[in-house]
A = this chain, B = another copy of it.
Amino acid sequence: MEMNIALLPGDGIGPEVIAQAVKVVHAVGKKFGHQITFKEAITGAAAIDAVGHPYPEETHQVCLQSDAVLFGAIGDPRFDNDPSAKVRPEQGLLEMRKRLGLFSNVRPTFTFPSLVHKSPLKRDRIEGTDLVFLRELTGGIYFGEPRGRNEQGTKAFDTCMYSVEEIERLARMGFEFAQKRRKLLTCVDKANVLATSRLWRETVQRLAPEYPDVKVEYEFVDAVAMRLIQWPKAYDVLITENLFGDILTDEASVISGSMGLMPSASIGVKTKLFEPIHGSYPQAAGKNIANPLATILSASMMFEYAFGLMDEAKAISDAVNLSLEKGMVTEDLADGGTSYKTSEVGDWVAEQVGMA
């Protein structure tokens, strides 16, 4: 297969971890006989510095012409704690999501047997957790208008807005995911308070008869924030709007105790994007110590979700599991034992993929 992949390393540790994913993707290409072309482009603080915009038009074109985008991380401490900064790296992220139509952020949460002890949660509560969030990513209060201040500056307002179409395409993806998994779909909303949530619930209720094999549950976002930590194994597929998804997927990422390992996929109208859920971790930038496994696992999701290539995806995730078992890991996972550099872990996983 021919694959055109846009590379957006971004800020902080982004370039280092993306470099490891590139090695691994190359190894997959070689082993399975794919012809893979990478094209790099700038985003985030790096792009603000270079051209004054966090998501330049040229970068957008590179993404549009790609089959998939591999994304590192965005964010720079220079822009934090300055709520009035006119141009901010995060704007680039939101603009990219919107312009690429990346409406569904897919975030699996699962445990790694060798890392369960790292979770703040007790083993019996989390062992075997296997859930996936579909977070709506291009609507809701992130993008609704009007937003801003009144003239005197004494009031601020934001608008949460959803159309039936926006809800329906996300919900259908949720039903389809559930059909391929344990057939349980949880619609997370706040229908006892919000008009938008009531439209979510109605829309999901209307679609449900088309998927008779899927059991649908409706839960309020506050209840899910509790149950997610009390008993994460109760969930299979969860669908939710943008802001609830932001909060709950980050909460869920703690369950496994391995945030540095969690990948994500954003499924879009125009392309698909794959990125680790961790941030740009500026303190570690340039030190060759950042954990590249979440980015490498995001590349695994890329083979599955962008190209439907399950063997390739599995070759990567198997290699990652082996690196964890054998302790071929960066210092954050080494429990004080022997640890390896970012580039060494990348080399090792790429080599494993080649040997598999």
Contact = CB atoms under 8 A, between A and B. Distances in A.
A148 B248 CA distance: 25
Contact of A230 (B158, B164, B191, B254): B254
Contact of A247 (B94, B142, B225): B225
B158 A157 contact: no
A246 interface: yes
B198 A156 contact: yes
Interface in A241-260: 243-244, 246-248, 250-251, 253-254, 259
A229 B250 CA distance: 11
Given A195-B147, A195-B149, A251-B225, A157 B155 contact: no
A208 interface: no
Interface centre among A121, A156, A160, A162 (most CB of B within 10 A): A156
Give this chain's copy count. Answer: 2
25 contacts: A83-B191, A84-B202, A94-B193, A120-B125, A120-B229, A120-B231, A122-B122, A141-B141, A141-B193, A148-B195, A149-B195, A155-B162, A156-B195, A156-B196, A157-B159, A158-B195, A190-B246, A221-B246, A221-B247, A222-B246, A225-B247, A226-B251, A226-B254, A229-B254, A251-B251
A4 to B, nearest CB: 31
